[in-house]
C-alpha cells in the first residue's frame, strides 16, 4: 500500500481553499429531488422539480421508469451530514432503506426491503450493492467511503442484477458525484457545531481548454472532539473524536464530439473512534435503557482508546465513444483499502457495570485490493426500441487479521473473489402508452479462502453460476399517471466466513441465496405537477437465504442457510408543493419479513430473555427461529420533510426546514428476545436561516437529533447485554454557497 496522506491533504486543502475564496455558489443540478429545493426554484415555479434517475444506465424521468426508486438530492445530503455524520445517516431517508454499523464509521451494513447482512466481519458480503460513479464498492470498508460533492443519490429497490454487477438481490444505493463541466463553477458548504463538530464539503470546476479539457477538485473534512468520559480510569473526554478527510480529482477530456474520457482519483484518511459499546445497558427483561446507561460515560479497562484508522483510494477511468448507431462505454477501476478497528467489546470491566463474566478486547484489520472492468454497448436516441449489452469482470484479494488482547493469538485469513458476467437489456414501445423491458444476465462467481502462516490453512473454495432475469411493463394511463409491474430474479453468490478461525473454529460456508421478486406500482404527478404520489407493493421469496448467526454465549460468527424466507410490503413516496414557498415531502414503507425453516436453530445470548422455543443440541440450548423476522429489518420506515419560506427582499428569503425519520420495531438478531430489539424510534433535524433566490448563498442555524433521542442501534450478546446508541444532539451554524 502506498502512503496516501500527502496527495489526500493536497487535494482537500486546494479544493477547500479555492471554494472558500469564491463569494457564491450555483443552482441545484437537474437531477436533484424536491427535498430542500432552493428559494429560486420555489419562487419562480410552483411545480415540483423533475427527478432524473439512471436505473437503466441512462438518464430518465423517475416517473417514466418501471422500478420502485427514490432519490436524495445534493442539498438534502448536505443537511444530513451537517453535523459530521457518516454514511449510516442515510438510514430511513427514503422508504425501505436501513443502514447501521457496529464498526463506527468504517464498515456500514445496508438493508433494503429487510434484506441485508448483520455480520460485522470485514469480509462480510451484503445483498445491497453500493455503486459510486458506476463502480461497485463491494467490501464494507469501501462502502463507507464518505459522500461529498454529490449530484444525487438513488435508491433502487428490489433485484437489479440485470444491469448492475455484484450481489444485488436486495437493491442498490447509487451515488453520482458532480462531474467537471465547460464553465468555471464552485460549490461548497461548511458547518460548525457542538463538540467542535466540523463538516466542510467543497468542489471547484476549472476549464483548462473550454470544450476540450476541464478539471474538478473536491474535498471533504469532518471532525469532532472527544466528548465521552471513561468512568473506570477517571479520564475526561476520552472517546468520541474523529477526523475524516477525503478528496477527489477528476479530469474530463472531450477531444471530439464523439469521444469523452473521464479520469478520477479519490482518497480517504479516517482516524477516529470505533463504536462505543456500553455494558449491560439493556433490560433485563425489557429493551429499556437501565441505570447502567450514561450517554456521556463508558467504563473501559481495555480497547486502547477504541481507535479506528482506515485509508482508501479509488482510481477510475471511463471512456465513452458515440458511434452512429450506439455508444460504447468502458469503465476500469482500481481500489485499495487498509486499516483497523479495536474495541473494548464487553463494554466495561470486571467490576461492571452489571455482570461481565469475562473480558473481550479485539482488533480487526484489513488490506484489500479490488479491480473491476465493465464494457457496454447501448443504442443511441429515444426511439421505440432501445437496447444495451455488456460484460463485467470483478477481482478482489484481501487479508483480514484478528488480534485478541491477550487472547486469542493473531490470525490472518485471505479471501479472494473472481467473478465475470455478460448482460443485456431491451426496451420496446409496444404502443405509445405501453413499454416492455426485459433483461438477462449470466454470472460466474468463485471464492477462495485460506489461513496464512498456519500448519493447517483450512483452505475452502466455493463457486456458482447463475442466470438472472427481469421483465417489466410500464403503462401510461395519462400524461399525469402511470402503472408499472416488474418481475425480477437475483442471487447472492456463496460466501465463506472465516473470522471464527481465530477462536479455534472452522470456517463456515453459505450456499447461494436465490430471490424471486414481484412488484407493481402507481406513479402520478397531479395538479399541474404540484403533487407527486408514487406507490409500489412487492412480494418476494428467497430460497436458501444467507444469514449470519452472530455472537451468542458461544461467541461465534457463523454463516447459515435457512430453507426459505419471504417478504412483502409497500413503499410510498410523496411530495406536495403546497405554495411556491411551502414544500412537503413524505415517504413510508411497511415491510413484513419471515424466516421459513422449522429446523433452523441458532445460538442464544448469555444473559437475555429468549422468547423463541429452545432445543438442546450437543448439551447447549439453541433457539428455533422459524417465523422470526429477518435481523435488522424494521417493519416500518418513514421520512418527512417540510420547507417554508418568507420573502424578505428582491434577492432572498427567510426559511425554515425540518426533516424527520421514523424506524419501527426492529429485531437485532436471528433469535427473538426482550432485550435485543428496538421499539419505535424518531429522529429529527431543523434548519432556520436566510437564502438567496439564485442559490448563491445560504446561512442557517441547524440542529441534528434535535430532541436528543437515546436510540439503541444494536447490541453485543455473547457476554452481557451490551448495546450502542445514536449520536447526541448537535447544534450549530452552516453556510452554503455556489457560483
Residue 127's pLDDT band (boundaries 50, 70, 90)? very high
Q: How far apart are CA 385 and CA 391, in angstroms?
A: 21
Contact 245, 236 (CB under 8 A): no
Q: Which CATH class is domain 5-268+279-738?
A: mainly beta
Report the distance separating Cα 510 and Cα 526, nearest Å.
Answer: 48
CA-based torsion, 244, 131, 203, 259: positive or negative: positive
Hey, what's the cell of 480? Answer: 399525469
Predicted confidence band of residue 574 (pLDDT cuts 50, 70, 90): very high
The per-residue pLDDT for range 474-517, each reduced to its tens digit, is 999 999 999 999 999 999 999 999 988 988 889 999 999 999 99
pLDDT of residue 72: 94
State pLDDT tens for residues 303-332: 999 999 999 999 999 999 999 999 999 999
Measured CA to CA, the distance from residue 55 to residue 129 in angstroms comes to 13
Count of residues for the chain? 739
Distances (CA, A) of 505 to 89, 352, 458, 501: 35, 29, 10, 5
Instruction: Spell out the residues 6+ positions from residue 49 whose beta carbon is closer than 8 angstroms to its own.
Output: 28, 32, 33, 34, 37, 41
Confidence of residue 48 (pLDDT cuts 50, 70, 90): confident
Torsion, Cα of 62, 67, 68, 69 (10° steps): -40
> Torsions phi, psi of 143, nearest 5?
-60, -20
d(CA 571, CA 576): 17
Task: Please tell me the predicted confidence (pLDDT) of residue 727.
Answer: 94
3-state secondary structure 471-488: EEEEEECCCCEEEEEEEE
Q: Report whether 72 contacts 642 (CB < 8 A).
A: no
- Classified as helix, coil or strand, 326 is strand
Mean pLDDT of 103-114: 95
pLDDT value at 396 more than 80: yes
**Confidence band of 45 (pLDDT split at 50, 70, 90):** low
Whether residue 5 is predicted with pLDDT greater than 70 in this model: the reply is: no
**Cell, residue 262:** 473521464
Q: Is 44 helix (H, G, I), strand (E, B) or coil?
A: helix
Is pLDDT of 97 > 90? yes
One DSSP character per residue, 92-112 reads TSSTTEEEE-SSTTS--EEEE
3-class DSSP assignment, residue 457: coil
Q: What is the mean pLDDT of the chain?
A: 91
**Residue 49: pLDDT band with limits 50, 70, 90:** confident
pLDDT at 17 over 90: no
Q: Is the pLDDT of residue 15 over 60?
A: no
- Mean pLDDT, to the nearest integer, of 140-145? 96
**Predicted structure pTM score:** 0.93
The answer to whether residue 391 scores a pLDDT higher than 60 is yes
Rounded Cα–Cα distance for residues 168 and 173 (Å): 10
Weakest-pLDDT range from 16-20, 134-138, 201-205, 695-699: 16-20
Question: What's phi and psi for 717, nearest 5 deg?
Answer: -115, -5
Q: Confirm if 340 and 298 have CB atoms less than 8 A apart.
A: no
Residue 570 neighbours by CB distance under 10 Å: 17
- Band (pLDDT 50/70/90 cuts) for residue 35 is very low
Q: Give the model confidence (pLDDT) of 586-635 as tens digits.
A: 999 999 999 999 999 999 998 999 999 999 998 889 999 999 999 999 99
Give me the residue label for grid cell 490472518. Answer: 412
What residues contact 309, with CB distance under 8 A and at least 6 apart?
A: 270, 271, 272, 339, 340
Tell me what percent of the residues of the chain surpass a pLDDT of 90: 84
Measured between its terminal Cα atoms, the distance across the chain in Å is 38
Give the whole-angstrom CA distance, residue 387 versus residue 357. Answer: 62
What band does 554 get if pLDDT is binned at 50, 70 and 90?
low
Ranking 150-164, 285-299, 589-603, 664-678 by mean pLDDT, the lowest is: 150-164
What is the per-residue pLDDT for 407? 84
Give the number of other CB atoms < 10 A from CB of residue 725: 18
User: How many angstroms separate the CA atoms of 82 and 657, rounded?
Assistant: 13
Residue tagged 418568507 (cell numbers): 646
641 pLDDT tier (thresholds 50, 70, 90): very high
Query: Count of alpha carbons within 13 Å of 711, Cβ hemisphere only?
Result: 24
Given this model, what pLDDT does residue 199 score? 96
Q: What gap in Å lies between CA 503 and CA 657, rounded to an integer?
A: 50
pLDDT tens for each residue of 250-294: 999 999 999 999 999 999 999 999 999 999 999 999 999 999 999
Q: Mapping DSSP to helix (H, G, I), strand (E, B) and coil, where does residue 668 land?
A: coil
- What is the per-residue pLDDT for 382? 76
Looking at per-residue confidence, does 23 or 654 come out higher? 654
Sign, Cα dihedral of 575, 581, 582, 584? positive
Share of the chain above pLDDT 70, in %: 93
Q: Are 737 and 290 in contact, with CB atoms under 8 Å apart?
A: no
In this prediction, residue 167 carries a pLDDT of 74
How far apart (Å, rounded) are the C-alpha atoms in residues 66 and 132? 22
Residue 501, all three cell numbers: 478461525
Amino acid at each position: 500500500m502506498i502512503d496516501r496522506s500527502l496527495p489526500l491533504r493536497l487535494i482537500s486543502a486546494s479544493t477547500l481553499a479555492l471554494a472558500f475564496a469564491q463569494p457564491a455558489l450555483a443552482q441545484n443540478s437537474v437531477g436533484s429531488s424536491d427535498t430542500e429545493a432552493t428559494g429560486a426554484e420555489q419562487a419562480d415555479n410552483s411545480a415540483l422539480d423533475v427527478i432524473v434517475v439512471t436505473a437503466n444506465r441512462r438518464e430518465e424521468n423517475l416517473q417514466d421508469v418501471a422500478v420502485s426508486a427514490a432519490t436524495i438530492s445534493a442539498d438534502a445530503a448536505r443537511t444530513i451530514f451537517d453535523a459530521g455524520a457518516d454514511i449510516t445517516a442515510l438510514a430511513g431517508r427514503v422508504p425501505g432503506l436501513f443502514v447501521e454499523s457496529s464498526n463506527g464509521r468504517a464498515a456500514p451494513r445496508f438493508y433494503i426491503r429487510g434484506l441485508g447482512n448483520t455480520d460485522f466481519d470485514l469480509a462480510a458480503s451484503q445483498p445491497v450493492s453500493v455503486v459510486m460513479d458506476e463502480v461497485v464498492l463491494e467490501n464494507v470498508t469501501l462502502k463507507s467511503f464518505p459522500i461529498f460533492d454529490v449530484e444525487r443519490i438513488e435508491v433502487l429497490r428490489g433485484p437489479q442484477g440485470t444491469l448492475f454487477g455484484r450481489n444485488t438481490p436486495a437493491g442498490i444505493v447509487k451515488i453520482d458525484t458532480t462531474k467537471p463541466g465547460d464553465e468555471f463553477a464552485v460549490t461548497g458548504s461548511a458547518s460548525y457545531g457542538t463538540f467542535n463538530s466540523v463538516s466542510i464539503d467543497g468542489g471547484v470546476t476549472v476549464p483548462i481548454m473550454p470544450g476540450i479539457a476541464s478539471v474538478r477538485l473536491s474535498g471533504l473534512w469532518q471532525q469532532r472532539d472527544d466528548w465521552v468520559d471513561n468512568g473506570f480510569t477517571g479520564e475526561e473526554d476520552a472517546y468520541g473524536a474523529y477526523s475524516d478527510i477525503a478528496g477527489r480529482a477528476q479530469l474530463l477530456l472531450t477531444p471530439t464530439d464523439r469521444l469523452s474520457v473521464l479520469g478520477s482519483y479519490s482518497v480517504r484518511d479516517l482516524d477516529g473512534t470505533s463504536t462505543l459499546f456500553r455494558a449491560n445497558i439493556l433490560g433485563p427483561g425489557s429493551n429499556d435503557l437501565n441505570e447502567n446507561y450514561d450517554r456521556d460515560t463508558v467504563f473501559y479497562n481495555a480497547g486502547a482508546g477504541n481507535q479506528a484508522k482506515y485509508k482508501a483510494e479509488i482510481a477510475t477511468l471511463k471512456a465513452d465513444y458515440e458511434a452512429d448507431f450506439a455508444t460504447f462505454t468502458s469503465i476500469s477501476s482500481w481500489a485499495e483499502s487498509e486499516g483497523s478497528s479495536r474495541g473494548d467489546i464487553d463494554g466495561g470491566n470486571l467490576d461492571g457495570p452489571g455482570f461481565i463474566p469475562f473480558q473481550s478486547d479485539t482488533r480487526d484489520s484489513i488490506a484489500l485490493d479490488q479491480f473491476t472492468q465493465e464494457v457496454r454497448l447501448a443504442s443511441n436516441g429515444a426511439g421505440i426500441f432501445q437496447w444495451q449489452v455488456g460484460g463485467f469482470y470483478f477481482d478482489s484479494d484481501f487479508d483480514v487479521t484478528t488480534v485478541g488482547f491477550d487472547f486469542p493469538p493473531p490470525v490472518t485469513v485471505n479471501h479472494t473473489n473472481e467473478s465475470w458476467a455478460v448482460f443485456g437489456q431491451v426496451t420496446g414501445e409496444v404502443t405509445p402508452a405501453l413499454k416492455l423491458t426485459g433483461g438477462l444476465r449470466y454470472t460466474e462467481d468463485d471464492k477462495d479462502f485460506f489461513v496464512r502462516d498456519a500448519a493447517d490453512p483450512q483452505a475452502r473454495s466455493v463457486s456458482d453460476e447463475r442466470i438472472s432475469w427481469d421483465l417489466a411493463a410500464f403503462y401510461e394511463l395519462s400524461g399525469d399517471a402511470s402503472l408499472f409491474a416488474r418481475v425480477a430474479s437475483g442471487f447472492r453468490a456463496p460466501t465463506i466466513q472465516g473470522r471464527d478461525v481465530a477462536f479455534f473454529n472452522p470456517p463456515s460456508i453459505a450456499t447461494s441465496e436465490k430471490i424471486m421478486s414481484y412488484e407493481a406500482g402507481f406513479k402520478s404527478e397531479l395538479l399541474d405537477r404540484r403533487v407527486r404520489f408514487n406507490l409500489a407493493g412487492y412480494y418476494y421469496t428467497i430460497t436458501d437465504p444467507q444469514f449470519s448467526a452472530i455472537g451468542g454465549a458461544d461467541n461465534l460468527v457463523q454463516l447459515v442457510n435457512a430453507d426459505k424466507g419471504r417478504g412483502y410490503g409497500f413503499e410510498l413516496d410523496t411530495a406536495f408543493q403546497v405554495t411556491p414557498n411551502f414544500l412537503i415531502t413524505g415517504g413510508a414503507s411497511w415491510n413484513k419479513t419471515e424466516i421459513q425453516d422449522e429446523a433452523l436453530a441458532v445460538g442464544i445470548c448469555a444473559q437475555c430473555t429468549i422468547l423463541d422455543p429452545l432445543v438442546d443440541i450437543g448439551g447447549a440450548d439453541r433457539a428455533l427461529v422459524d417465523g422470526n423476522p429477518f435481523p435488522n429489518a424494521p417493519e416500518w420506515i418513514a421520512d418527512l420533510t417540510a420547507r417554508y419560506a418568507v420573502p424578505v427582499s428582491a434577492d432572498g428569503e427567510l426559511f425554515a426546514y425540518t426533516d424527520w425519520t421514523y424506524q419501527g420495531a426492529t429485531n437485532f438478531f436471528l433469535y427473538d428476545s426482550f432485550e435485543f430489539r428496538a421499539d419505535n424510534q424518531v429522529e429529527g433535524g431543523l434548519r432556520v436561516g436566510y437564502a438567496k433566490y439564485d442559490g448563491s448563498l445560504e446561512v442557517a442555524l441547524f440542529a441534528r437529533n434535535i430532541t436528543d433521542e437515546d436510540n439503541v442501534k444494536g447490541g453485543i450478546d455473547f457476554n452481557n447485554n451490551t448495546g450502542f446508541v445514536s449520536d447526541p444532539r448537535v447544534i450549530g451554524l452552516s453556510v452554503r454557497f455556489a457560483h
